[in-house]
Each structure stands twice: as structure tokens, then as C-alpha cells.
């Protein structure tokens, strides 16, 4: 059965391409979604792609993933630094959860340097720009053991020696 991945985007990411392009670049969220959809087709998986400026709506989406998605990829944006509600919701989800940040938050100002939501994440990808979403999708599908054989072996990751 094909993997299902929910991709969530937090506040102000609907203004990617316009908002602070010196930090986030010129790629829009629609372009990121199109790229993710293309990769999903290549991988033989399905994705749902969402953006909300509302914390409670993101919590509802995470809760709706329970039993309906195999992995969550989330760019919590500003909620990365403030949201206990997102942490609690992510802890309910049993599959891989990968947090994505377009910028390298560790090289940012003090306010944008420490993500509290990463404590509830399986992995964190930051600083790769929009490609971070692609890396997160590959990582999620690899963690689920569902990378197709036609994908180069090097992308399947190293296997433990038996």
C-alpha cells in the first residue's frame, strides 16, 4: 500500500516568495507544493499539502493524520518557537514526523534559533531552502521502508550489518 504523507505549513508561509526573500528565497509555497507532488508521483506515494496561520487548525490537521497518514512533514514556522499545543499533538502521532525549516534556524537571531517543536520530531531538516521538503519526503519514505527499488540504492540509506 502506498505511503501517505501529510505536509503541514505554519503561519506566513503562504507569503513565501514575497516575505523576506533574503532569508527564505523567491520560491513560493505553490511551487514547493508542485515539486512535492512531482516527487510523490515518482515515489508512488500520496501527499496532502496544507498551510494555516492558525495554531488550532494545525493541531486539528495533526490529529486528523492519526490513522490516515503514515508520516508528517511540518514546517511550523513561527510556532516552532512557541507552540506547546503542536508538541502535544505531534506526540500523539505514531509515525515519523520530520520538521523542516527553509532557513538555517541555528544561524538566525536569538528569537528564531531554538525550535521547541523539534523535541517531538523524528528528525529536523533546516537550511536547505525549499529542497528541505524534498529531503524530508525522501527521508520519510525511507523511514517507512517504502522507497521504490527504481530509486538509486544510495538514496535508500545505509543498512545495519547483520
Tell me what pLDDT residue 52 has.
Answer: 98
Tell me what pLDDT residue 34 has.
Answer: 98
Q: Could you tell me if residue 152 is inside a domain?
A: yes
Number of domains in the chain: 1
Tell me what pLDDT residue 115 has.
Answer: 83
Domain containing 25 equals 4-156
Of 15-24, 49-58, 152-161, minimum mean pLDDT range: 152-161
Per-residue pLDDT of 64-85, as tens digits, reads 999 999 999 999 998 999 899 9
Q: Which residues are catalytic?
A: 24, 101
pTM for this model (two decimals): 0.92
CATH of the domain at 130: 3.40.50.9100
Q: Could you tell me if residue 66 is inside a domain?
A: yes
C-alpha torsion 133→47→97→92, nearest 10? 150
Residue 162 pLDDT exceeds 90: no
Per-residue pLDDT of 86-97, as tens digits, reads 999 999 999 999
Q: Could you tell me if residue 17 is inside a domain?
A: yes
| Percentage helix, strand, coil for the chain under 3-state DSSP, each rounded to 5 | 45, 15, 40
Q: Could you tell me if residue 162 is inside a domain?
A: no
Q: Could you tell me if residue 18 is inside a domain?
A: yes
Amino acid at each position: 500500500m502506498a505511503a501517505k504523507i501529510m505536509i503541514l505549513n505554519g503561519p506566513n508561509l503562504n507569503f513565501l516568495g514575497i516575505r523576506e526573500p533574503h532569508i527564505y528565497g523567491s520560491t513560493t509555497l505553490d511551487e514547493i507544493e508542485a515539486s512535492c507532488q512531482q516527487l510523490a508521483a515518482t515515489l508512488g506515494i500520496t501527499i496532502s499539502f496544507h498551510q494555516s496561520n492558525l495554531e488550532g487548525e494545525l493541531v486539528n490537521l495533526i490529529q486528523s493524520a492519526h490513522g490516515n497518514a503514515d508520516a508528517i512533514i511540518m514546517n511550523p514556522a513561527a510556532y516552532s518557537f512557541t507552540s506547546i499545543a503542536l508538541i502535544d499533538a505531534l506526540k500523539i502521532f505514531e509515525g515519523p514526523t520530520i520538521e523542516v525549516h527553509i532557513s538555517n534556524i541555528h544561524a538566525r537571531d536569538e528569537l528564531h534559533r531554538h525550535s521547541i517543536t523539534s523535541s517531538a520530531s523524528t528528525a529536523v531538516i533546516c537550511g536547505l531552502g525549499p529542497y528541505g521538503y524534498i529531503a524530508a519526503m525522501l527521508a520519510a519514505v525511507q523511514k517507512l521502508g517504502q522507497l521504490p527499488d527504481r530509486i538509486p540504492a544510495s538514496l535508500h540509506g545505509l543498512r545495519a550489518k547483520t
